[in-house]
Chains A and B, each alone.
Chain A
Amino acid sequence: MQKDFHYYATYCAAYLAGYTHDECMEICYSAQLVDHCSATLLRKIKAPAEAATTQLQLELMDIKPDIASLQNITRIWASFHFLPADLYAVRKGAPKMYHDKYRLICNTNSDLLVETVKLAKDKGSPAAGIAMHVLADTWAHRYFAGTPSFVINNTDYYFYELVPDGEGYTERPVKFIHNPSAEDDPENGVYVNSLHQNSEISVMNLGHGRAGHLPDYSYARYKYLPAWGDYEEIVKDNPSDYMNAFCQMIYALKYLRGAEHDFEKDRYDTAAAETWRERIKEILEKRQTDACEDWKKLGEEMSGIGIVDFDIGKYQDEYTNASDKDNTFLGRFTAAAIAQKRMVTNRIYKSGNKLAGVSVVKNRKKGGSDE
């Protein structure tokens, strides 16, 4: 997902969940910051590197394919962008080294999602925003794993976009190109993806790189053969998935606000979104690679207040000049990010999988992470 959903749509969901405009701004800012909080940024503001929630192009480019670097990649991408669905999934006849990768495949409504949302309870807006980023990405990034893996994340020539055609859909083969400076061309079905590399641990095989940005576009419907799927076709319906993500965010945010007593899997607050349903559907289905303007307009209509564009430097001075950094916005964001990363790493490690590293429970702090 991109800024249109993580920032503006998250604002809308927070508003429908009953938060004030200012609270909505903090939640959506935090949700979007997950895509910017790299080790480079953290070094700049002198924040703990452990709080990194993403990796930049240059950071990925210089990754050494050693165990520690691969564990760092997995910790970041599995914790924030590709939340594993079933850490104990079994594929018949597969050895452990395959299972370790297979079990990191992201999908919706997992136990880890419930833990993610509950971990953010009573931790304030930054933690809520992080949880909403993770939740939303489970819908966009489902079927891919947040670890470099050729045998899990590769795609092949069998990749078709389902383009709306009156009553039905026309199947159009997707043409993938590997020029990173080129733009996606939805009208002609030409999309940029990562290079084919049959190295298991190449960063080209991280997440949905081999499917390009198609999972990030709300209008996209496509079918393909996932590398792990035993030749069973997957049909991905992003408009439907994104609508579910939106309604699940409303429900999760109501839980975080205290309006719902529990957060359960597979529950969506469709009623809260009902008034705006057609408008949302229209935005989701519009063939555009950036829906920021449409979502922004919708959010402003909902609250009647202007939504300020995302500014990465917004809270940096507050953080760098503060004597008590823990009580700044970025201080609370980094604390929540570290808690989320530790929780996911711990669950992966406890399942017998060391791809995200070794996690040991040291102590149990009140209201904090126990890893």
Chain B
Amino acid sequence: MSWLQRIRKTVGGFLLVIAGILFILLPEINYLLLIAGLVVYLLIYGIRMMIYYFTMARLMVGGKSILYKSVILLDLAMFTATLTTLGPVYLIIYLVGAYAAAGAVDILRSFEAKKLDAPEWKIKFATGLFNVIIAIAAAVSGILMRSTEIPAYIYGGGLIWSGITGIASAFRNTRTIYIQ
């Protein structure tokens, strides 16, 4: 992992921790803030990937996957933006769904890593499982208690945890294949 990657991971982790704290402390505006942040992130990521496709990746074997990823990211950004007009319950469902999906992806990637004998599969699996459990807990408590505050606390706690694990992984030793 390069220094810039470590810095990015650390900054990203701190932002997640701050977002989690805001989520717990400011229940009125927190959903909108988070949705806005998510939209900006997805837009920038999607546009960057699309530029990469048209300048470089369109010429490579299997390069279309970069285009598909960029289109999906931009679609997701636009869809996320439309959610701001809905009530907080729908936003919670969406955020919880997105959180669960991210957890599921982590679990699937951990299986892939395990298949490839990569030693980091355990941490990936634990992180993914935790995210899924948090998402389920937030959804169930919200539905059972008929409250938007409880899932907000759980969700905020989950964000703080993700931020901390992100910061921790930034300082983890990584190894690179030596090419000669």
Contact = CB atoms under 8 A, between A and B. Distances in A.
Contacts of A54: 180
Interface string A80-98: 0100000000010111011
A151 B57 contact: yes
B24 to A, nearest CB: 34
Interface string A58-83: 00111111100000000001000100
A204 B179 CA distance: 10
Interface string A158-178: 000000000000000000111
B3 to A, nearest CB: 5
Interface stretch (A107-115, A190-198, A294-302, A306-314): A190-198
Contacts of B2: 61-65, 203
B117 to A, nearest CB: 4
A150 B60 CA distance: 9
B31 to A, nearest CB: 31
B179 A207 contact: yes
B60 A56 contact: no
Contacts of A62: 2-3
Interface residues of A, number: 55
Contact of B4 (A66, A150, A192): A66
Nearest to B175: A180
A371 interface: no
Interface in A114-156: 150-152, 154, 156
Contact of A177 (B59, B66, B116): B116
B56 A97 contact: yes
A208 B60 contact: no
A180 to B, nearest CB: 4
Contact of B180 (A2, A212, A225, A226): A2
Given A178-B116, A178-B118, A227-B60, A61 B66 contact: no
Contacts, number: 103
A321 interface: no
Contacts of B178: 56-57, 60
B29 interface: no
A57 B176 contact: yes
A95 B3 CA distance: 30
Contacts of B3: 62, 64
Given A177-B116, A178-B116, A207-B179, A198 B66 contact: yes
Interface in B26-68: 52, 55-57, 59-63, 66
A152 B55 CA distance: 13
* Majority SS at the chain B contact face: loop
A176 B116 contact: yes
B78 interface: no
A228 B117 contact: no
B111 to A, nearest CB: 14
Interface residues of B, number: 27
A209 interface: yes
B177 A81 contact: no
B118 A179 contact: yes
B1 interface: yes
Nearest to A34: B180
A58 B178 CA distance: 9
A229 B61 contact: yes
Interface in B113-154: 113, 116-119
Contacts of B52: 200
A200 B61 contact: no
Nearest to B66: A198
Interface string B145-180: 000000000000000000000000000001111111
A328 B24 CA distance: 68
Given A64-B4, A98-B55, A57 B60 contact: no
Contact of B177 (A209, A226, A228): A209
B180 A81 contact: yes
B63 A151 contact: yes
Contacts of A154: 60-62
Given A178-B116, A182-B117, A229-B61, A95 B179 contact: no
The 5 closest A-B pairs by CB, nearest first: A179-B117, A151-B60, A194-B177, A227-B60, A180-B175
19 contacts: A54-B180, A61-B176, A64-B4, A77-B179, A81-B180, A95-B56, A98-B59, A150-B56, A150-B57, A150-B60, A151-B59, A152-B60, A154-B60, A177-B116, A177-B117, A179-B117, A179-B118, A228-B61, A230-B59
Given A56-B178, A65-B4, A209-B179, 10 more contacts: A57-B178, A62-B2, A65-B2, A97-B55, A151-B56, A151-B60, A154-B61, A176-B116, A180-B177, A230-B59
Interface of A: 1-2, 35, 54, 56-57, 60-66, 77, 81, 91, 93-95, 97-98, 101, 150-152, 154, 156, 176-182, 192-195, 198, 200, 203-204, 206-209, 212, 216, 225-231
